[in-house]
């Protein structure tokens, strides 16, 4: 199904309790704006795994709605069957991708919502409350994105060049983005920025998604190869770097798309501040450091046969981690919906995000 929109929604719930999840197929961008209608939980799992929907916050929202879809078949029957199905589908959805903590955060939140109603509400009431909860997760994400943008915009000056890696815009969230929210909010406040977008190999999220989003919103953007980042810094074109994150440990180490660590090292070498923008739901205070963050390993064919064309010899060994971890010592500040965390220390993180993370 295709739709035309100036500001397309990354995902949306269509209908009531018996409705479905509609989401942009991001694997088809930027040349084709196509939507996938998920009417069963297997479709949601596949959409997350295959990166049709991606970005930690958006994955969390999609997973919450996936729970609602899975429980549609539990309209009648015993309460025990509904909760058994809930356990089954949350475990199933959690297996789709290992690194983005928002996925597990959203699924745990849905389970807690249902458990609070066990023995107190009918099955139909539980299903309605779960849909309400999923919608609340989406609405809160929208509000968090806007707040991140406002806080982050204050860190940038008019006329600056800024660099970003991967896609942390509206396509990665329910609305406005995290890293890109900083640019959008700065532009709305009257600041003129020039954004340099890394292409982000091997799946080119920066080329396909970030440059497309920035163009859609009228932001001045230049696409560069990943290997050009050092050169634009050396030439003085970049005065700040802003990226998103998929999981942030208690000490501030941040996992993001592969290549982010290298960008942070380059920024440090050129004395350029490196910022990470992420909501409180992306923090995992149960992990002492980034060494404990699970790193997803993806299919070798993403490297050897990128977008269907073979670019490597048959049988060559491939190492294809989807993420790397930037140490807190390289991060100037963490930009959250609750404020800016600077310096990036365990104590300051606990103070700002607290036990909610």
List, in sequence order, every beta strand (DSSP E) within 191-330. 194-198, 220-224, 240-243, 247-249, 254-257, 274-277, 283-284, 323-326
Nearest to 40 by CA among 9, 71, 61, 10: 71
Phi-psi region of 342 (alpha: psi -120 to 50; beta: other; left: phi over 0): beta
Which of 175, 198, 226, 246 is catalytic? The answer is 246
Question: Residue 101's beta-bridge partner residues?
Answer: none
- The reply to whether 246 belongs to the active site is yes
Report the 10 Å Cβ neighbour count for 101: 27
Rounded Cα distance, 221 and 191, in Å? 14
Bridge partner list, 256: 324
Judged by DSSP in three states, 25 sits in: coil
Beta bridge partners of 158: none
Q: How far is CA 242 from the centre of its chain?
A: 14
56 touches 172 (CB < 8 A): yes
Coil vs helix vs strand at 273 = coil
The residues carrying an active-site annotation are: 246
């Amino acid at each position: 199904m295709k739709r035309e929109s100036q500001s397309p929604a990354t995902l949306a719930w269509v209908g009531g309790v018996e409705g479905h999840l509609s989401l942009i197929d991001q694997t088809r961008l930027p040349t084709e704006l196509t939507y996938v209608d998920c009417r069963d939980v297997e479709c949601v799992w596949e959409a997350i795994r295959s990166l049709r929907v991606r970005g930690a916050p958006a994955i969390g929202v999609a997973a919450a709605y996936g729970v609602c879809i899975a429980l549609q078949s539990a309209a009648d029957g015993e309460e025990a069957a509904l909760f058994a199905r809930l356990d089954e589908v949350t475990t199933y959805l959690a297996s789709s991708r290992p690194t983005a903590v928002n996925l597990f955060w959203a699924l745990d939140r849905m389970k807690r919502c249902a458990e609070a109603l066990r023995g107190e509400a009918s099955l139909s009431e539980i299903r309605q409350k779960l849909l309400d909860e999923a919608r609340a997760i989406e609405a809160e994400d929208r509000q968090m994105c806007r707040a991140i943008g406002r806080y982050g915009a204050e860190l940038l000056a008019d006329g600056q060049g800024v660099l970003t890696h991967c896609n942390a815009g509206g396509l990665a969230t329910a609305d406005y983005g995290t890293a890109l929210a900083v640019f959008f909010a700065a532009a709305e406040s009257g600041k003129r920025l020039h954004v340099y977008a890394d292409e982000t190999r091997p799946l080119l999220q920066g080329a396909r998604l970030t440059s497309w989003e920035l163009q859609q919103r009228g932001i001045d953007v230049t696409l560069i190869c990943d290997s050009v980042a050092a050169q634009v810094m050396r030439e003085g074109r970049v005065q700040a770097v802003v990226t998103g994150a998929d999981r942030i440990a208690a000490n501030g180490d941040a996992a993001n798309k592969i290549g982010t660590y290298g960008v942070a090292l380059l920024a440090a070498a050129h004395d350029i501040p490196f910022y990470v923008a992420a909501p409180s739901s992306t923090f995992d205070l149960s992990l002492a450091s980034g060494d404990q963050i699970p790193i997803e390993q993806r299919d070798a064919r993403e490297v050897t046969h990128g977008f269907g064309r073979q670019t490597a010899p048959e049988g060559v060994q491939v190492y294809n981690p989807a993420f790397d971890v930037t140490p807190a010592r390289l991060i100037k500040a963490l930009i959250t919906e609750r404020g800016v965390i600077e310096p990036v220390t365990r104590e300051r993180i606990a103070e700002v995000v607290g036990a909610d993370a």
